[in-house]
C-alpha cells in the first residue's frame, strides 16, 4: 500500500528548470531514484522578498516505496508530512418529489456550477441566461468597445460566463472548502491550464476562460440539461410562500418548484422583481472607486528588481491596503497585470469600468481597482435596494462627466491627489475603449471616497515604488466590486428565508466574492437541492 507524502519548501532559482524538482526531492528525502514512484506539484509560489535572490518555492506530493519507514526516519523534518486524502463525498438524494425540472437563473460561475452539479447527478436542469452565448456576446462587447453602442442584454455583465468572462480570470479565494479543488479540476477538464491546480495565484485569462465556459455548458447539455439564451426572468410568481412560476421576457410563464437565483451583481431589474415577489432582501456593504493604470514595466521593476524582465517571472502583480485617518479602508482589488481597463456598462446612461487580462498578460499596462469601503449608512435610505440606487447615482455622474457617450472620465493620479486640473494626460496611455475625456474625477465620487483614494495613493506609493507616479492614469468609476444587497437565505436549507424553493446563490445573492467562491456556493446550493428532492 502506498500513500502520498507532502514535501514543502523545495526551492528553485530562476534559472533552474522545473525538472530539477525531482532531484531535489531525492536529496531532501534521501532516496534512491528507483524508490520515487511519482510526484506532482501541489503548490507553486514566488519568493521575491530579496530582489537579488528571487526563487520559486514548491510543495509537492510524492509516492514512494516504504513510505512508513521514511516518515518515521524524517519525523523531525517539518517540511515532510503524510497527506490526508479527502474521500470523495456522495451527495445523498432527498425524498420530496421534484415535479418540475430545477431551474437555474444565470450563467456566471455560481449558475454554471450549480447546473453542472445538478446535471451530473441526473437532475437535468433548465438553465436560463438573459444574455447571449459567449461567441455572440464577445461580438456584442467588441462592438460596444469600438462604437459606444451598448446592448443592455448582451454585454460585459450579462451573458454566458457572467462578469468573470471579461476579467483576469483570477482563481484565488480565501475560503477553505474542499469543493475549491473540484472547481479547479472541472475548469482544467474544460480547457483551463493545468497549472491553476497548483499556482499560488492562479488565473485563466479572458481569452481561455471563454472557451472553458463554453465547454462546461456543452457538458451540462450532454448530461440532459437545457440551456436557453435571451431568456430574462422579468417576474416571479409565488403561492403560499413558495415559488411557482417564472415570467420570462415579460411574456412566457415557466412553471417551477425549485429555482436557483444566480443572477450576478448587476441584474438590477431582477433584484426589483425578486423584491416585488416578497423575497427578503437586506442592504450589504460594498466598495467603490476608480481604476488605476501604470506601465507594467514599472510594477515589474518594483516587485522583481534587477530580474524584472526574466521570462519565467512574467507580469508582476500587487495587493495593497491602507487604513485612512477617516476610519475608511482603501485597497487594490482585481489587479490585472498586462491588462486593460474596460467599459463594463449594462444600462443606458450609466458608466462603470472594470479590468481584464488575457492569459499571456503581455499588455503594456497593468491596472487595478482602487476602492473604498461603502457602508449601508452611506446609502441615505433604509430601502433594501438603496445600495443599488447609490451605485446608479455615481455611474450616471460618470457617464455625464465622460461626455454621455460611454467615453470614460480620466485623470492623472498626481492631479487627482493635488486636486488640480491640468487638462491632459501624461506619458501613460489609457487602454480604455471606446474613448476617454480628461475630467475632475472627484465629481463622480462621494467626498469620502475621493479623500480616501487620494490618501491611499500617497500611502501605497511608499509601499510599492512607482505606484504614486504622477502620470498614472485614473479612470472612473468602479462600482461593481460586489453586490450592495443580500438575498436572505436560511443557513441550513440555503433557501430564501421567505420563499420556499428559491435558492439564492453566488455573488449577486451576496454570498460570494470571486469566480471560485461563487462556483463553490453554486455547488453547495445544488447539493442542498439534491439532498431535498428525489428524481421520482
404 in any annotated domain: yes
Looking at the fold, whether 294 and 314 belong to one and the same domain comes out as yes
Q: Examine the domain organization and report whether 320 and 259 are in the same domain.
A: no
Q: Which helix (H) or strand (E) holds 217?
A: helix 206-222
Boundary of a domain, candidates 457, 478, 499:
478
What is the structure's pLDDT at 237? 97
Q: Are residues 201 and 325 in the same domain?
A: no
Question: Do residues 348 and 261 share a domain?
Answer: no
Residue 326 falls inside a structural domain: yes
Q: Can you point out the beta strands (E) in 453-499?
A: 473-478, 485-487
- Residue 193 corresponds to which cell in the numbers above? 491550464
Q: Residue 52: is it exposed, middle or buried by C-beta count within 10 angstroms (0-12/13-18/19+)? A: exposed
CB 442 within 8 A of CB 450: yes
Q: What is the pLDDT along the chain (536 residues), one digit of tens a residue?
A: 446 899 999 999 999 999 999 999 999 999 999 999 999 999 999 999 999 899 999 999 999 988 888 888 888 889 998 887 666 678 999 999 998 999 999 999 999 999 999 999 999 999 999 999 999 999 999 999 999 999 999 999 999 999 999 999 999 888 889 999 999 999 999 999 999 999 988 999 999 999 999 999 999 999 999 999 999 999 999 999 999 999 999 999 999 999 999 999 999 999 999 999 999 999 999 999 999 999 999 999 999 999 999 999 999 999 999 999 999 999 999 999 999 999 999 999 999 999 999 999 999 999 999 999 999 999 999 999 999 999 999 999 999 999 999 999 999 999 999 999 888 999 999 999 999 999 999 999 999 999 999 999 999 999 999 999 999 999 999 999 999 999 999 999 999 999 999 999 999 999 999 999 999 999 999 999 999 999 86
> Quick count: other Cβ atoms within 10 Å of Cβ 2?
12
**31 and 122 fall within a common domain:** no
88 within a domain of the structure (yes/no): no
Are 196 and 307 part of one and the same domain?
no
Last residue of a domain, one of 36, 53, 82: 82
Residues 40 and 100 in one domain: no
**Helices and strands (H, E) in the chain, number of each type:** 12, 25
**Cα-based distances in Å from 294 to 299, 316, 339:** 7, 12, 10
Residue 89 lies inside a defined structural domain of this protein: no
DSSP 298: H
Q: How many other C-beta atoms can be found within 10 angstroms of the C-beta atom of residue 151? A: 18
Same domain, 101 and 9: no
Structural domain includes residue 369: yes
CB neighbour list of residue 531: distance below 8 Å, 6 or more residues apart: 91, 92, 93, 94
Question: What strand order describes the sheet that includes 55-64?
Answer: 36-47, 55-64, 4-13, 80-82
Beta pairing, strands 473-478 & 340-343: unpaired
- Determine the Cα–Cα distance for residues 408 and 387; give it in Å rounded to an integer: 22
Give the domain extent around 344.
286-478
The residues near 481 (Cβ < 8 Å, ≥ 6 apart) are: 286, 287, 288, 333, 334, 369, 371
In a domain, 257, yes or no: yes
How far, in Å, CA of 256 to CA of 242, rounded?
A: 10
Same domain, 370 and 349: yes
Q: What is the pLDDT of residue 1?
A: 42
pLDDT at 45: 95
Task: Report phi then psi at 296, rounded to 5.
Answer: -60, -30
Among residues 108, 525, 499, the alpha carbon closest in space to that of 281 is found at 499
75 with 147, same domain?
Answer: no
| Domain end (from 53, 82, 111) | 82
Q: Indicate whether 248 and 343 sit together in one domain.
A: no
Grouping H, G, I as helix, E, B as strand and the rest as coil, residue 505 is coil
- The CATH number of the domain holding residue 506 is 3.50.50.60
Residue 276 lies in a domain: yes
At 336, phi and psi to the nearest 5? -120, 95
Position 90 in a domain: no
How many whole angstroms from its chain centre is CA 150? 23
Domain count, the chain: 3
Give the CATH number of the domain where residue 8 resides: 3.30.70.2700
Please state whether the predicted TM-score (pTM) of the whole model is above 0.85.
yes
The answer to whether residues 273 and 298 belong to one domain is no
Cα–Cα dist 312/296, whole Å: 16
Contact, 203 vs 317, CB < 8 A? no
**pLDDT at residue number 535:** 83
Cα angle value 301/302/304 (rounded, 5°): 60
Amino acid at each position: 500500500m502506498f500513500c502520498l507524502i507532502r514535501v514543502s519548501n523545495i526551492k528553485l532559482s530562476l534559472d533552474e528548470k522545473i525538472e530539477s524538482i525531482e532531484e531535489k526531492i531525492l536529496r531532501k528525502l534521501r532516496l534512491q531514484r528507483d524508490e520515487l514512484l511519482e510526484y506532482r506539484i501541489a503548490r507553486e509560489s514566488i519568493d521575491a522578498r530579496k530582489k537579488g535572490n528571487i526563487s520559486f518555492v514548491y510543495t509537492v506530493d510524492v509516492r514512494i516505496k516504504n513510505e512508513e519507514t521514511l516518515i518515521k526516519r524524517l519525523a523531525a523534518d517539518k517540511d515532510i508530512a503524510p497527506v490526508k486524502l479527502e474521500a470523495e463525498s456522495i451527495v445523498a438524494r432527498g425524498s420530496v418529489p421534484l415535479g418540475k425540472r430545477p431551474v437555474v437563473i444565470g450563467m456566471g460561475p455560481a449558475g454554471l456550477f450549480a447546473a453542472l452539479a445538478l446535471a451530473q447527478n441526473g437532475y437535468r436542469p433548465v438553465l436560463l441566461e438573459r444574455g447571449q452565448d459567449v461567441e455572440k456576446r464577445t461580438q456584442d462587447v467588441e462592438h460596444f468597445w469600438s462604437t459606444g453602442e451598448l446592448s443592455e442584454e448582451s454585454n460585459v455583465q450579462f451573458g454566458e460566463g457572467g462578469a468573470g468572462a471579461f476579467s483576469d480570470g483570477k482563481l484565488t479565494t480565501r475560503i477553505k472548502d474542499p469543493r475549491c479543488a473540484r472547481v479547479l479540476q472541472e475548469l482544467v477538464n474544460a480547457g483551463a491550464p493545468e497549472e491553476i491546480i497548483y499556482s499560488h495565484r492562479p488565473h485563466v485569462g479572458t481569452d481561455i476562460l471563454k472557451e472553458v465556459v463554453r465547454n462546461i455548458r456543452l457538458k451540462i447539455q450532454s448530461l440532459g440539461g437545457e440551456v436557453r439564451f435571451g431568456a430574462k426572468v422579468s417576474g416571479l410568481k409565488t403561492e403560499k410562500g413558495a415559488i411557482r412560476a417564472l415570467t420570462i421576457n415579460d411574456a412566457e410563464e415557466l412553471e417551477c418548484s425549485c429555482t436557483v437565483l444566480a443572477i450576478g451583481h448587476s441584474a438590477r431589474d431582477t433584484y426589483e422583481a425578486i423584491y416585488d415577489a416578497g423575497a427578503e432582501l437586506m442592504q450589504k456593504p460594498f466598495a467603490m472607486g476608480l481604476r488605476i493604470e501604470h506601465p507594467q514595466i514599472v510594477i515589474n521593476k518594483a516587485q522583481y528588481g534587477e530580474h524584472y524582465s526574466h521570462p519565467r517571472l512574467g507580469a508582476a502583480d500587487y495587493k495593497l491596503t491602507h487604513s485612512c485617518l477617516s476610519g475608511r479602508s482603501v485597497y487594490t482589488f482585481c489587479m490585472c497585470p498586462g491588462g486593460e481597463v474596460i467599459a463594463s456598462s449594462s444600462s443606458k446612461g450609466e458608466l462603470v469600468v472594470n479590468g481584464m487580462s488575457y492569459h499571456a498578460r503581455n499588455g503594456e499596462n497593468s491596472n487595478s481597482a482602487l476602492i473604498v469601503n461603502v457602508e449601508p449608512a452611506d446609502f441615505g435610505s433604509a430601502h433594501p435596494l438603496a445600495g443599488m440606487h447609490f451605485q446608479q447615482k455615481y455611474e450616471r455622474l460618470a457617464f455625464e462627466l465622460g461626455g454621455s457617450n460611454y467615453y470614460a472620465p480620466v485623470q492623472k493620479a498626481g492631479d487627482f491627489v493635488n486636486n488640480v486640473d491640468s487638462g491632459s494626460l501624461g506619458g501613460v496611455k489609457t487602454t480604455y475603449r471606446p474613448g476617454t475625456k480628461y475630467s475632475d474625477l472627484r465629481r463622480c465620487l462621494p467626498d469620502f471616497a475621493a479623500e480616501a483614494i487620494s490618501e491611499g495613493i500617497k500611502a501605497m506609493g511608499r509601499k510599492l515604488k512607482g505606484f504614486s507616479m504622477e502620470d498614472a492614469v485614473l479612470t472612473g468609476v468602479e462600482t461593481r466590486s460586489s453586490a450592495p444587497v443580500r438575498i436572505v437565505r436560511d443557513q441550513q436549507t440555503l433557501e430564501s428565508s421567505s420563499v420556499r424553493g428559491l435558492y439564492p446563490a453566488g455573488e449577486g445573492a451576496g454570498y460570494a466574492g470571486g469566480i471560485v467562491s461563487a462556483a463553490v456556493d453554486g455547488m453547495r446550493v445544488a447539493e442542498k437541492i439534491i439532498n431535498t428532492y428525489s428524481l421520482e
